[in-house]
Copies of this chain bind each other. A is one copy, B any other.
Amino acid sequence: MTERREIDGSRLGWSIVITRMSHLFLRTLRDDPADAEVPSHKLLVRAGYVRRVAPGVYSWLPLGLRVLKRVEDVVRDEMNAIGAQEISLPALLPRDPYEVTGRWNEYGDALFRLQDRKGADMLLGPTHEELFAQLVKGEYSSYKDLPVILYQIQTKYRDEERPRAGILRGREFVMKDSYSFDLDEDGLKSAYHAHREAYQRIFARLLVRYVIVAATSGAMGGSASEEFLAESDIGEDTYVRCPESGYAANVEAVVTPAPEALPVDGLPAAQVHETGSTPTIATLVDWANATLDDPVTAADTLKNVLLKTRVPGGDWELLGVGVPGDREVDMKRLEASLEPAEVVLLDDADFAANPFLVRGYIGPPGLQAAGVRYLVDPRVVDGTTWITGADEQGKHVVGLVAGRDFTPDGTIEAAEVRDGDLSPDGQGTLVSAKGIEIGHIFQLGYKYTDAFAVDVLGENGKPNRLIQGSYGIGVSRLVAVIAEQQHDDKGLRWPAEVAPFDVHVVIANKDDAARTGAEELAADLDVAGFEVLIDDRTASPGVKFKDAELLGMPTVVVVGRGFANGVVEVRDRFTGEITEVAPDAVIGTLRAARG
C-alpha cells in the first residue's frame, strides 16, 4: 500500500509515504450487499471499508481501519484533556466479579459466556464497571489519591439479539469506556460534567449532529444519566423533546405528569354490564356508546395487560398493568421500568394455568383478589372513573373508581409516549424523533463500590467509600454514524478530522507529463503534512471519479486535461465546488480552505 521514496537532495531527504490505489487492498463494489438496508452499511461495504465475517462481526479493511483509528484519536485527545488516564483491561474476564454484582445473570443472553480448559466460567467483557472498581481498590488507599478518571479504548462483546446495519450495532465493537472515582457526590458531579463537556467537544470535532437526552440507567444501576443520541431516521432509539422548554429525553425516561387526584365522594356506584363479545377496546367503546348515556372514548376505558416477571435468580411472578385504553403498552418503557427483572407477556399456557384470568375481561378487583401485583399508569389517580373488565366472560364494569373500588400497588411507566403529550416540565408538549445512541454518561453512585467495598482512608481517618461514574462512547459505531449523517447519493463524505486521507489525487490523463506532475504534487502534499491517496491505476477517468466520490476523501485533486494548460481541479467533496488552480497553488488553496 505504501511506498517510501527518497526525494532528491534539493528537498530535505524526507521519506515520502504515498498510498497508491494500484496497490491498496481495496475492491469497490458496484452493487449494494444483499444484507444491507441502511445507507451507511451499504456504502461502507461498497467502498471497501468493512467486510462481514459473521452476524454482527466485521473486519476493518485499510480505509475503514484508518477512520476508526482517527476517531479513536479524537476521543483519546479529549479524554486526556480532562485528565483521564488511559489503561487497557482484558476482554476475557473471570465470572466472579460479575457474579458479585449480579450482572453474570442480569445480562441474560447478551453476555458471551465460555469456559476455559479447566472448566472455569469466563465471559467476554460487555462493559467493565466491576473490574475498574476492583482495580482502584487494589491500587489506591488514601483520600490523597483521589479523584481519578481511568479509561480504555477497547474491543467489547455483546451477543445482541438483532445485530444490525453492519458496524452500527455489532456483537464485537470498539468502545471508549471511562470510570471516575471520587470521595463524594460533588466530586462525581464534577467528573460527570467534565465528561459531558468532553463528549460535546468530541462530537463537535466529528461533525456529528446529536441531542443530549435524559435516560434511564438500565442494567447499569445508578441515578442521573444522560444519553447522547445522533439524529438519524434509521435510529432505534426514540426520544422526545419539548420545543418550548428544550426538555429532551429517551422515551424510556419520560416521566408521565400525574394529574391531581379527584374526590371520590358522590361518585355513582360501579355497575356490571353484560357487554356481549367485546374483547377489544374498540368493541367495548362501541358497546358503551350504544348503551350508556354519556359519550365514551377509548381514554375512558382501562386496559389491563397481564405479564410475568422474574428478578435474576427468582421465580416468575404474575403482574397486571393497567393503562388508559387509548394507549398501547410500550414494552421498552415497561422493561426499562422493571429492570433488572425480565418481563414477558402471558401466553396461552399461562392463561390456562391461571383460570381466574378471564382473557379480554380482566379487571383490577379480580387481579387483586387473586393476589396479583397490579401497577397502573400515573394517569390512573384516585377518583378517576373507568370502564374495564368485570372478571367474567362477556361482562364489563362501568364507573369503577380508582381509590374506592380498587387500590393499585403502585404506578408504572408502561404506556406509550405520543406526540402532543404534555412535557414532564409542564412547559409545552412533546414531539418525537429517532436517534442512535453514541454516548452515555452515568452517575453510578455506590452500586459497584459497595459490591467490592472500595474504601480509602478518609481525611478524617475513617474509611471513605468511593463513588463511581461510568461513561461510554461507541467508537466503531461512530464510524457508521458519521457515514450515515454525512453521505450523499454518490457515496461517503468524511469530515477532515477523521478522513482516511486528506487528499485524493486522481490521475485522469495518460500523458507522461501529467502523470509525473501528479506524482510530484502528491509528494509535495505529503511533505506539506497532508495524507495523500493517489489513484495511479490504469482505469478510465470515469471509473476513478466514481470511486473517488464513493470513497469520500474531503478533497479530490484531479490532474486531467487541463494539466497541459497549467491547471488542476480541486474538488470539495462536501460542497461539490470545483476550483481550477495551478499545481503549485494547490497546497495554498487547501491550507486556506482548512482555515
A residues near B (Cβ < 8 Å) are: 1-4, 17, 23-27, 48, 51, 53-54, 57-62, 65, 68, 80-81, 83-94, 109-110, 112-114, 116-117, 120, 122, 124, 131, 135, 138-140, 148, 150, 155, 157, 159, 161, 171-172
CB <8 Å contact, A61 and B87: yes
Distance to closest chain B CB from A441 (angstroms): 20
Residues in B with CB closer than 8 Å to A172 are 90-92
The verdict on A51 contacting B138 (CB below 8 Å), with A25-B148, A92-B112, A159-B117 known, is yes
Distance to closest chain B CB from A173 (angstroms): 10
Between-chain CB contacts (< 8 Å), 28 pairs: A1-B83, A1-B84, A1-B85, A25-B150, A51-B138, A53-B94, A54-B90, A54-B93, A58-B90, A59-B87, A59-B88, A59-B90, A59-B135, A60-B88, A62-B85, A65-B88, A68-B88, A90-B172, A91-B155, A92-B124, A92-B171, A109-B117, A110-B117, A112-B114, A113-B114, A114-B114, A116-B159, A155-B155
Residues in B with CB closer than 8 Å to A155 are 91, 155
Q: Tell me the complex Cα distance, A48–B139, Å.
A: 9
Q: Tell me the complex Cα distance, A110–B59, Å.
A: 24
Q: Nearest B residue to A132 by beta-carbon distance?
A: B59
Distance to closest chain B CB from A128 (angstroms): 10
CB <8 Å contact, A85 and B124: no
CB <8 Å contact, A65 and B86: yes
Residues in B with CB closer than 8 Å to A51 are 135, 138
Residues in B with CB closer than 8 Å to A84 are 1
Pick from B3, B4, B26, B53: contact of A89, CB under 8 Å: B53
Q: Tell me the complex Cα distance, A370–B1, Å.
A: 60
Residues in B with CB closer than 8 Å to A139 are 25-27, 48
Q: Tell me the complex Cα distance, A395–B138, Å.
A: 65
Distance to closest chain B CB from A156 (angstroms): 11
Residues in B with CB closer than 8 Å to A159 are 116-117
CB <8 Å contact, A94 and B4: no
Residues in B with CB closer than 8 Å to A117 are 109-110, 159, 161
Distance to closest chain B CB from A536 (angstroms): 13
Pick from B1, B81, B157: contact of A92, CB under 8 Å: B157
Distance to closest chain B CB from A115 (angstroms): 8
Pick from B4, B114, B150: contact of A81, CB under 8 Å: B4
Residues in B with CB closer than 8 Å to A59 are 87-90, 131, 135
CB <8 Å contact, B57 and A90: yes
Q: Tell me the complex Cα distance, A17–B82, Å.
A: 12
CB <8 Å contact, B122 and A116: no
CB <8 Å contact, A122 and B54: yes
Q: Tell me the complex Cα distance, A460–B131, Å.
A: 58
CB <8 Å contact, A65 and B87: yes
Q: Tell me the complex Cα distance, A60–B23, Å.
A: 36
Distance to closest chain B CB from A382 (angstroms): 44
Residues in B with CB closer than 8 Å to A86 are 62, 65
CB <8 Å contact, A83 and B25: no
Distance to closest chain B CB from A98 (angstroms): 12
Q: Nearest B residue to A123 by beta-carbon distance?
A: B114
CB <8 Å contact, A131 and B53: yes
Distance to closest chain B CB from A225 (angstroms): 25
Q: Tell me the complex Cα distance, A54–B131, Å.
A: 11
Residues in B with CB closer than 8 Å to A122 are 54
Q: Nearest B residue to A148 by beta-carbon distance?
A: B25
Distance to closest chain B CB from A327 (angstroms): 32
Residues in B with CB closer than 8 Å to A148 are 25
Residues in B with CB closer than 8 Å to A58 are 90
Q: Tell me the complex Cα distance, A85–B48, Å.
A: 14
Q: Nearest B residue to A48 by beta-carbon distance?
A: B139
CB <8 Å contact, A93 and B57: yes
13 more CB-based (< 8 A) A-B contacts, given A91-B91, A112-B114, A124-B124: A2-B85, A4-B81, A17-B80, A25-B148, A54-B90, A54-B92, A57-B90, A57-B93, A60-B89, A61-B87, A65-B86, A109-B117, A116-B159
Residues in B with CB closer than 8 Å to A140 are 27
Q: Tell me the complex Cα distance, A23–B161, Å.
A: 42
Q: Tell me the complex Cα distance, A87–B61, Å.
A: 5
Q: Nearest B residue to A54 by beta-carbon distance?
A: B94
Residues in B with CB closer than 8 Å to A80 are 1-2, 17
The verdict on A2 contacting B83 (CB below 8 Å), with A88-B65, A138-B51 known, is yes
Q: Tell me the complex Cα distance, A80–B16, Å.
A: 12
Residues in B with CB closer than 8 Å to A83 are 1-3, 23
Q: Tell me the complex Cα distance, A140–B24, Å.
A: 11
Interface centre among A88, A116, A120, A172 (most CB of B within 10 A): A88
Q: Tell me the complex Cα distance, A139–B1, Å.
A: 15
Residues in B with CB closer than 8 Å to A171 are 92, 116
Q: Tell me the complex Cα distance, A131–B139, Å.
A: 40
CB <8 Å contact, A87 and B62: yes
Residues in B with CB closer than 8 Å to A120 are 54
Q: Tell me the complex Cα distance, A25–B152, Å.
A: 13
Interface centre among A54, A58, A171 (most CB of B within 10 A): A54
Q: Nearest B residue to A88 by beta-carbon distance?
A: B60
Q: Nearest B residue to A79 by beta-carbon distance?
A: B2
CB <8 Å contact, A53 and B93: yes
Q: Tell me the complex Cα distance, A387–B68, Å.
A: 68
Q: Nearest B residue to A57 by beta-carbon distance?
A: B90
Q: Nearest B residue to A538 by beta-carbon distance?
A: B144
Q: Tell me the complex Cα distance, A150–B139, Å.
A: 40
Residues in B with CB closer than 8 Å to A150 are 25
Distance to closest chain B CB from A447 (angstroms): 20
